[in-house]
Structure 1
Amino acid sequence: MIDIAGTELTDLDRERLCHPLVGGIILFSRNYADPQQLSALTTAIHALRSPSLLIAVDHEGGRVQRFRDGFTRLPPMATLGRLWDRDPTLACAAARQLGYVLASELRARGVDYSFTPVLDLDYGPSRVIGDRAFHRQPEAVIELAEALGQGLRQGGMSSCGKHFPGHGYVIPDSHVELPVDDRAFEAMQEDIAPYRQLALGGVMAAHVIYNCMDCNTAVFSNKWIDYLRNNINFDGVVFTDDLSMAGAGVVGDMLARVETAYAAGCDMLLVCNAPDVVGKVLANWKPEIDARRSRRVEALIPVAPEKSWEQLQGDTIYRAALRTVGELMA
């Protein structure tokens, strides 16, 4: 999964997006000007291939929402956690409505998939998770994430739990440092619990070393990916976190990162914000193609037609959900 620099496709973008090793694209704020531009861009991307490329975005709410003007502003997930402390039933209903707004708006503009929900537990000191997490208690995370996932599915979108097996305990930000979690395996079971309980279309592995398992980050650890597949019995897409992050530097250059993550069992490898090395990876990476991995990724591409933006405005479920989201933002 690669990215592009601007708000429309260049000839080089088209060439790379048509490369057989590329299965998706992730969009960032720099790729967004307004809703009409986004619709034109996603239409152009989908027209390149059949089956079409998976178009993804980080659109969680709070400080991680790539498209803002023209989209409903979404609260951080900790807002739902605080509501859960007062009224779990009301919080789950609100999470379901928030998920529907999130998915239906993105789908109306041609985006297939959002990397959400964050399943990390909020231990407090983390420099990168914080209010992106629903709650400290796994029970609350499971209930709220399940409700959010129901809303996503209602809006025509699958879900992606992150960051497996848990990024909330460590303090450093893996974008700029390499975090190490030194807890015993038994102490991590609360973090892992949401992955056991939830029906997820995708899981994003963390750039964190867990000493209880091995000396690799989860992204590069065949032990963690094997545990996810064969102990938790997850059969969806395993995504790496962005391989250009500092936490991914432990195994070497970008080609080494791609090769190691694929060998560990990751299905979709994110190479973001590194356009110079994308060409080198596509020219030099020679993986053994695994049809099962391709089928998993294709399963995330929505098959039901999305509601148009105009149809959404007349959708009573959407309008009621907007009111709930507005109350959460107040």
Structure 2
Amino acid sequence: MKSSPALPGPVMLDVAAHEITAEEREILQHPLVGGVILFARNYAEPEQLRALTGAIRAARPELVISVDHEGGRVQRFREGFTRLPAMRRLGEAWAADPVVGRARARQAGFVLAAELRAHGVDLSYAPVLDLDYGVSSVIGDRAFHRDPQVTVELAGEVVAGLADAGLRAVGKHFPGHGAVEADSHVAIPVDGRSFEAVWAEDIVPFRLLSAQLGGVMPAHVIFENIDARPAGFSRFWLQDILRGRLGFQGVIFSDDLTMEGASVAGGIVARAEAAHSAGCDMVLVCNRPDMAVDLLDNWHPQAQAGSRERIVALRPRPGTAPADPGTLAGWAPYRAARDGVLALA
């Protein structure tokens, strides 16, 4: 086998279970692979997770190991990890006392990042920056608040807490998923609002926090009066608005290309090409190993200037948090932050 490339590629894929197989180890060597996303099925207990991330790192050191680990109902690792609150709970804490709400938000980000770091995970796709319009079941209590300014306050504290422990933040789902009822996992959501309406509300958190974010994930939502393509396949949204007007310099991730909301672009190769051409640095292919292999065998993307370097920059800052659970448990900043998070319960 040829030696692995020095830089990660543009495909983020998953593995099946608690350990990587010989076949998966071979797949991770493919030059298009840039990272692994973990799910609840990959987790049994803390030591097993450390062994899994260690095996991935041994197979390909430059890969980014990621997870959807927000808190509330979207928390992949539970037993042995702190139960993090849903972001709406932070909004409720802010409503009772803004000073306390902001403090708890920073503590939540810090605990989230410190625990992931101690188990070999580089990145969480958090925080959600969607607004809570009360209509989206898939967003629901994952959103901080209906008010974009409150969302900026609380999400900014979560981002700062993540950074305190060395992790970059990934804001999602640009330019906003909260105002549509349909779930893009199983349907193709359509938002009929004008650009002015979206800009005045939903984009505010992305605009005000863009300089602090390491990554942004666009929504599989079609804003039919603005662009006929879902945001994640739209040069207008990703190039003209996110890169252009907002000046975002970090990594743009596609949302999972196996979701129904991505099906409008065609098969998996067409979906990846559409996302990549629109401006996504990294495309996610989850829960469908057959589609992942198809993509690796048949996709030949043109290199994007600076894209791989942006992906490398997502890796955690060294020396900001303990690298093992035993040391973390006795670390005073972590213990104080964890007590604050648990107080929300």
Superposition TM-score tier, normalisation by shorter sequence: over 0.9
Q: For residue 320 of structure 1, report the CA deviation from its aligned partner.
A: 1.1
The corresponding residue for 2:25 is 14
Q: Structure 1 counterpart of 2:38, which letter? A: L
Give ranges in structure 1 of 5+ residues lacking alignment: none
Q: CA deviation at 1:135?
A: 0.2
Name the counterpart of 1:65. Answer: 75
| Cross-structure match for 2:14 | 3
**Could you say which residue in structure 2 is the equivalent of 1:230?**
244
Matches within 5 A, 1:1-330: 1-50=12-61, 52-189=62-199, 190-198=201-209, 199-226=212-239, 227-305=241-319, 306-307=321-322, 308-329=324-345
Instruction: Report the residue type matching 2:39 in the other structure.
Output: F
SS in 2 for 1:239: strand
Q: Distance in 2 between matches of 1:281 and 1:49?
A: 19
Counterpart secondary structure, 1:134? coil
| Partners of 1:18 and 1:324 in 2: CA distance | 42
Distance in 2 of aligned mates of 1:113 and 1:303: 11
What is the CA-CA distance between 1:236 and the residue it aligns to? 0.3
| Shift >2 Å, 4+ stretches | none
1:67-98 deviations in whole A, cap 9, x for unaligned?
00010001100000011112111111111111
Q: Secondary structure at the match of 1:149?
A: helix
Residue 291 (structure 1) shift = 4.3
8 Å contact from structure 1 (residues 98, 148) kept in 2: yes
Residue 125 of structure 1: CA displacement?
A: 1.3
Helix, strand or coil: the match of 1:269? Answer: strand
Give the C-alpha shift of residue 293 in structure 1.
0.6
SS for the counterpart of 1:163 is strand
Whole-Å separation in 2 of the counterparts to 1:277 and 1:160: 25
Shift of 1:323: 1.1
Superposition RMSD on alpha carbons, in Å? 0.9
Which string of whole-angstrom CA distances, capped at 9 and with x for unpartnered residues, describes residues 241-260 of structure 1? 10000000011111110011
Cα offset, 1:290, TM superposition:
2.3
CA contact (8 A) 1:213 1:224 kept: no
Q: How many residues align?
A: 328
Distance 1:104 1:64 in 2: 17
Match of 1:191, SS state, is coil
User: Structure 2 length normalisation: TM-score?
Assistant: 0.94
Normalised to the residue count of structure 1, the TM-score between the two structures is 0.98
CA distance in 2, matches of 1:67, 1:102: 11
Cα deviation code 1:6-62 (max 9, x no counterpart): 111111111111111010110000111110000001011112224x20000000000
Mean CA deviation greater in 169-178 or 272-281: 272-281
* 8 A Cα contact 1:96 1:151, kept in partner: yes
What's the CA shift for 1:322?
1.3
Tell me the SS of whatever aligns to 1:241.
Answer: strand
Per-residue deviation, residues 141-169 of structure 1 (Å, max 9, x unmatched) = 00001111111011110000000000000
Distance 1:212 1:195 in 2: 21
Q: Which runs of 5+ in 2 are unaligned?
A: 1-11
Describe the SS at the equivalent of 1:294: helix
The answer on whether the counterparts of 2:167 and 2:317 sit within 8 Å (CA) in structure 1 is no
What SS is found at the alignment partner of 2:344?
A: helix
Taking every aligned residue pair, what percent have the same amino acid on both sides? 56
**2 CA distance for matches of 1:4 and 1:43?**
14
Specify the SS of the correspondent of 1:24: strand
